[in-house]
Amino acid sequence: MHGMLATPGKRSKSTGSADLNQVMIKLDQYRRQSEELALMNELHQRMADTVDLQSIIEAFSVWLMPQVEHELVAYRHQEKGQAHVFCSCHGPERRRAIKVTERLFQQPQLIDCRKGDALDGYHVRCWQLPDHENGQLLLLRKKSQMPAEKAGLVDDGVAVLGAPLQRAVYYEKLIEQATRDTLTGLANRRVFDERIDAFLERAKRNNQSLTLASMDLDNFKKINDALGHAEGDRVLTRVAKVFADTVRKSDLLVRMGGDEFLLVLPDTKLGAAKTLAERICREVSKLAISTPAGDTLGVSIGLAQWHVGLGREEWIQRADETLYQAKAAGRSRVSDGEPKPLAIASDIVV
């Protein structure tokens, strides 16, 4: 009897030890799940506090860094063609990482970045984002491939990005619609009204020159009437491209409406502005757009340099007045208020 009772006791002790191990394993699983859930909640909170694409990419990188060290996170929407990059390194290393990113976006076939392949010293991972047919996320890591135990966490984090990125893309589209001329893609009057005071304040604070160019197309109405509104729209688009290709990125080029444009030239004296305006006139004349009656498209430009004490409205009015002087002097000319506006394209029929 005593021998028979001893055997169950031994089994009970062994079973209890196994049960304890199972409990510890389960507890460890619950702990990891709880930590992951806390991390996901933190990421959701970070995403809730961001609106624009750049801030979302930065917030994701900052959230991920304590878990997975990396050099760069980038998002690119193929339809828009613009990449949003957040890079944690600096100097030459930063330029190198960004260069690798640009190569990958331009030539995605270089490596299979879904597997973490290496390119120029960086291990690269990429994701096609959920519900984003044209959206791609890249992560560059210099040390080594991503640890297997962290891959699931990163995949879950990328899944969280889907909705905020969609929201941000939609938000950017709304902003673009509100601030861009739908025909030409140039900034619209609203942008001018919102930014012009900042240009004036910067010029005053830094004691810099600031010149305004008021531009109006010559013979556009005749061309529009003779060739039709559809052709008129194409003409405006072509002219807008000429303007955009000629000015600097720091300049503000605005379509105010119809065939009227304004160009704000920061840190630009009147002489330099006149040189630029003359080049714009020549480039427009090269389009060689005319009606069957020989009315040729040109552009007249009036310039006004701002100075301390000159109000915004008065400054704009002076630019308009010099534009009218250019028109009155024969069109396709640049005027800065001097008695004889400069003729740019004397071979143009007006």
User: Is 259 tagged catalytic?
Assistant: yes
Q: Decide if 31 is inside a domain.
A: yes
Q: Are residues 40 and 160 in the same domain?
A: yes
Q: Are residues 203 and 175 in the same domain?
A: no
Q: Are residues 44 and 166 in the same domain?
A: yes
Query: How many Cα atoms within 13 Å fall on the side-chain side of residue 5?
Result: 2
Q: What is the pLDDT of residues 250-302, one digit of tens each?
A: 999 999 999 999 999 999 999 999 999 999 999 999 999 998 888 899 999 99
Assess whether pLDDT exceeds 60 at residue 5: no
Q: Decide if 8 is inside a domain.
A: no
Identify the active-site residue in 181, 218, 259, 336. Answer: 259
Q: Which residues of 294-331 are buried (b: 16+ CB within 10 A; e: fewer)?
A: ebbbbbbbbbbbbeeeeeeeebbebbbebbebbbebeb
Q: Are residues 30 and 66 in the same domain?
A: yes
Backbone angles phi, psi at 135, to 5 degrees: -110, 135
Last residue of a domain, one of 179, 200, 224: 179
Q: Decide if 280 is inside a domain.
A: yes
Q: What is the pLDDT of residues 120-169, one digit of tens each?
A: 889 998 888 766 667 889 999 987 778 787 888 888 998 898 889 888 88
More confident residue, 326 or 8: 326
Query: How many domains are contained in the chain?
Result: 2
Distance CA 42, CA 56 (A): 13
Query: Tokens at residue 276, please?
Result: 């630029």
Q: Decide if 9 is inside a domain.
A: no
**Domain hosting residue 129, numbered range:** 23-179
How sure is the predictor about 347, in pLDDT bands with cuts at 50, 70 and 90? very low
Q: Which pTM does this prediction carry?
A: 0.62
Strand 252-257 versus strand 210-218 pairing type: unpaired
Q: Are residues 197 and 96 in the same domain?
A: no
